[in-house]
Homo-oligomer: A and B are copies of this chain.
Amino acid sequence: MSPRNPKAAPAGRRPAKAFAIAAPREAVAGVFAALGDPTRLKLVAVLCAGGAFSIAQLTAGTDISRQGVTKHLQVLAEAGVVSDTRQGRERLYQLEPARIEDAKRTLDAIGKQWEAALGRLKAFVES
């Protein structure tokens, strides 16, 4: 099983051309990177329970220091996964589901493309 030969691909001998995923790869890679830490994923899991949480509240769910949590939240905010608003003397963080949707669409595109490739391969083998 080596479909590496350009039988059905119009790409000639060139193996790897950039494939359009969904959103700009750079941006969505940032979302994945932001979710790629257990602590941050846990923070997101807490935040997706709804509402806005302060840093102290979010810290209470982890075993690292408040400043550590702050850094993680900044990473999430930079990736657009959460948004923050200052309210009084505390800063409230909230989930921003749009980027999560972007990431999900990217994963969906990967799955779809893979399935389509499997289908083509099967058709080729059966022909």
User: A interface vs B, CB < 8 Å?
Assistant: 1-6, 8-9, 12, 14-21, 25-26, 28-38, 41-42, 44-46, 48-54, 56-62, 65-66, 87, 92, 95, 97, 100-101, 103-104, 107-108, 110-111, 113-114, 116-118, 120-121
Contact = CB atoms under 8 A, between A and B. Distances in A.
A60 B55 CA distance: 45
B17 A56 contact: no
Contacts of A59: 6
Given A9-B56, A51-B121, A56-B6, A16 B111 contact: no
Closest 3 CB pairs of A and B: A50-B117, A16-B61, A33-B36
Given A38-B25, A52-B4, A60 B121 contact: no
